[in-house]
Chain A
Amino acid sequence: MTVCCQFTVTMGATVPTGFEHCAAEEVREKLGAEAKISKDRGRIYFQMSSDSLPLVHQLRSVDNLFVVVKEYVDYQFKDSKEETLKDLQDLASKLPWTNPLEVWKLNNVLKKRRWRRRGANVSRPNPSSDGAKEGTQEGAADTETQSLEAEPEQPGRVEEDYEDNQGQQDKGSAETGAEGTPGVLKFRVTCNRAGDKHSFTSNEAARDFGGAVQEFFQWKADMTKFDVEVLLNIHNNEVVIGVALTEESLHRRNISHFGPTTLRSTLAYGMLRLCKPQVSDVIIDPMCGTGAIPLEGALEWKHSYYLAGDNNDQAVNRTVNNVAHIHRKRQEKGCGPWGLPIDTVQWNLCRLPLKTASVDIIITDMPFGKRMGSKKRNWDLYPSCLREMARVCRPGTGKAVLLTQDKKCFAKALSRMGGLWRKSHTVWVNIGGLHAGVYLLKRVASAFGETPEDTDERRDPRGAETAGEEKEEN
């Protein structure tokens, strides 16, 4: 990539809350940069050279990326709304826009090349044509219509050089003006505001700041078809102005066939990182849904083996479709063996058709009472789940990473399993407004069938009443 001069720039990224440290680790590993975790939960910041931009797109724990224009750690807001908003307006012309906009331009060049490489895939007019080719069953077809919008940027995994493909269509109007050709840029301002001492709303700030930005650059404001998205993030006294680099969130990157509760790939990545997959680890997701977790694992930690399983017809079909989709993309890229170490089985989680002690890691998103299943069913489901998972999991070395919103039910079920599972670590996350917990459990080094808990299912739980409440850890 030719850049006349490279410069240092501060990047910001939004990540699933609870996994900020995981994302910081990934930044350290892949970019060699130290990330700062913002007090505004779910955000990290790091510095990098402008020519590291392609590397940044390989981050798997990041939902959205932006370039920081300016950060105020302790912004002094005036008392009145009028004065505060005037200050914001005055700010627009004083900010160091040059370098961040340069990065935005570079990013567009990268995106354009990725779209071109995709060729025909981009301009597919009928979203369900994909389904017809694969011969998917009735059940899977209902989600096909989402596949075109949901087709993720997949900016990661671009290892090869950025040669332009001849004769391919450009993406569309968004590219106008991006490479210095004449044409007025369209923009919008998105404001996120948190804190109880502000005299203004996020809409007012966005409107007034946006007005000043428009004056300064002579850009055109457009809420839906914008080229530049300016971010105004206000968290108490921390104010960060940035320019967005990602259009759609990266968090649905692997999934083309959605289900009712498909997990964000960034969250799946964070959960996998927690359990640190080792070479030859057998990793199962016994309630895989659309296969988000095993698929993310098979892409990032190829040295392990992934078994995705579910009892539901639609779920296993969607999983197979998602795997096939990724296989096809890899085949198209043509860089070496395209197959992934992942397989799909239809099974009942409470009666797994697997040999005892044959699995190293169990990682899954357990049904939430509100979005799927019901609280009463979870009450019965969780203990049998945990028991069967303990049976197939290797004693001593085995682990489980379980995501659930039904913390009370889970805690109670777990309290009766002390002879099989030991709680190691918990991460609290936010899933679409619902607070959930990711529990990392270690399999106790006792063979299944020897502890009292697993031989007598109807045994009265000791201390059942105290098991329900659990303090927030971490």
Chain B
Amino acid sequence: MKLLTHNMLTSHVKGVTKGYPLLIKATEVKVSEVEFNPQFVSRMIPKLEWSALVQAAEEVGHLNDLPTELLPDYENNEEFLRKVHRVLLEVEVLEGSLRCPESGREFPISRGIPNMLLNEDEA
């Protein structure tokens, strides 16, 4: 699971209103190499929840020096964009779980795949 995916995932257990962001517990993380495209990153940033991204990066131990607040004029800051690129696309959780912040329900992550299926009574 890449952190970009995590930024879009939300808990949809019945009755839950604050199912975002899911809390990450990672037991195995890997870093891959994905081609850097500055346009991709700068256009993706407005679609993200920045604080959730920072929190996720911290939870998997890859916060490094990613700023907690978005830098102004980030579109032209290549160094910054590269850091964001790494966190969004290259850091992957292979094993672990995602926890709903409201209900505590855990969704397992195995082989990089989060299993978001609900049971009958949760749907």
Query: Which residues of A pack against B, CB within 8 Å?
Result: 279-280, 282, 302-303, 305, 307, 311, 316-317, 320, 327, 336-341, 343-348, 351-355, 358-359
Is B73 an interface position by the 8 A CB rule?
no
Contact A280 B115 (CB under 8 A): no
List 23 A-B residue pairs with CB atoms under 8 Å apart, sorted by A's residue number. A303-B37, A303-B39, A305-B4, A307-B5, A307-B8, A311-B117, A338-B33, A339-B34, A343-B1, A343-B2, A343-B112, A345-B5, A345-B116, A346-B113, A347-B116, A347-B117, A348-B116, A348-B123, A351-B123, A352-B12, A353-B9, A355-B10, A359-B8
Chain A residues with Cβ below 8 Å from B114 are 345-346
Question: How many angstroms between the C-alpha atoms of A336 and B4 in the bound complex?
Answer: 22
Q: Which residue on chain B has the smallest CB distance to residue A340?
A: B34
Contact B40 A339 (CB under 8 A): no
Assuming A279-B39, A303-B39, is B115 touching A346 (CB within 8 A)? yes
Chain B residues with Cβ below 8 Å from A305 are 4, 40, 44
Q: Which residue on chain B has the smallest CB distance to residue A323?
A: B112
Question: How many angstroms between the C-alpha atoms of A453 and B5 in the bound complex?
Answer: 29
Q: B34-86: which residues lie under 8 A (CB-CB) from chain A?
A: 34-37, 39-40, 43-44, 47
Question: How many angstroms between the C-alpha atoms of A320 and B114 in the bound complex?
Answer: 12
Contact B37 A279 (CB under 8 A): yes
Assuming A279-B37, A353-B11, is B117 touching A348 (CB within 8 A)? yes
Contact A355 B39 (CB under 8 A): no
Query: Which residues of B pack against A, CB within 8 Å?
Result: 1-2, 4-5, 8-12, 20, 32-37, 39-40, 43-44, 47, 89-90, 111-118, 123
Question: How many angstroms between the C-alpha atoms of A346 and B36 in the bound complex?
Answer: 27
Contact B34 A337 (CB under 8 A): yes
Q: How far is the CB of B97 from chain A (nearest CB, A)?
A: 13
Chain A residues with Cβ below 8 Å from B44 are 280, 305
Chain A residues with Cβ below 8 Å from B40 are 279-280, 303, 305, 341
Chain B residues with Cβ below 8 Å from A344 are 112-113
Chain A residues with Cβ below 8 Å from B34 are 337, 339-341
Assuming A317-B111, A344-B113, A348-B118, is B4 touching A353 (CB within 8 A)? no
Question: How many angstroms between the C-alpha atoms of A340 and B112 in the bound complex?
Answer: 14
Question: How many angstroms between the C-alpha atoms of A341 and B32 in the bound complex?
Answer: 11
| Top-9 shortest CB links A-B | A280-B43, A339-B34, A339-B32, A337-B33, A353-B116, A337-B35, A346-B115, A343-B5, A280-B44
Contact A355 B35 (CB under 8 A): no
Chain B residues with Cβ below 8 Å from A351 are 12, 118, 123
Among A305, A307, A311, A320, which residue has the most Cβ atoms of chain B within 10 A? A305
Chain A residues with Cβ below 8 Å from B89 are 339, 341
Contact B4 A343 (CB under 8 A): yes
Contact B90 A339 (CB under 8 A): yes
Chain A residues with Cβ below 8 Å from B123 are 348, 351
Contact B113 A354 (CB under 8 A): no
Q: How far is the CB of A403 from chain B (nearest CB, A)?
A: 24
Chain A residues with Cβ below 8 Å from B117 are 311, 346-348
Contact B43 A279 (CB under 8 A): yes
Question: How many angstroms between the C-alpha atoms of A232 and B33 in the bound complex?
Answer: 47
Q: How far is the CB of B62 from chain A (nearest CB, A)?
A: 15
Contact B20 A280 (CB under 8 A): no
A358 is contacted by which of B32, B36, B39, B47 (Cβ under 8 Å)?
Answer: B47
Q: How far is the CB of B15 from chain A (nearest CB, A)?
A: 13
Contact A358 B113 (CB under 8 A): no
A354 is contacted by which of B9, B90, B112 (Cβ under 8 Å)?
Answer: B9
Chain B residues with Cβ below 8 Å from A348 are 116-118, 123
Chain B residues with Cβ below 8 Å from A316 are 113
A320 is contacted by which of B2, B20, B33, B112 (Cβ under 8 Å)?
Answer: B112
Chain B residues with Cβ below 8 Å from A352 are 12
Question: How many angstroms between the C-alpha atoms of A352 and B2 in the bound complex?
Answer: 17
Chain A residues with Cβ below 8 Å from B37 are 279, 302-303
Chain A residues with Cβ below 8 Å from B2 are 343
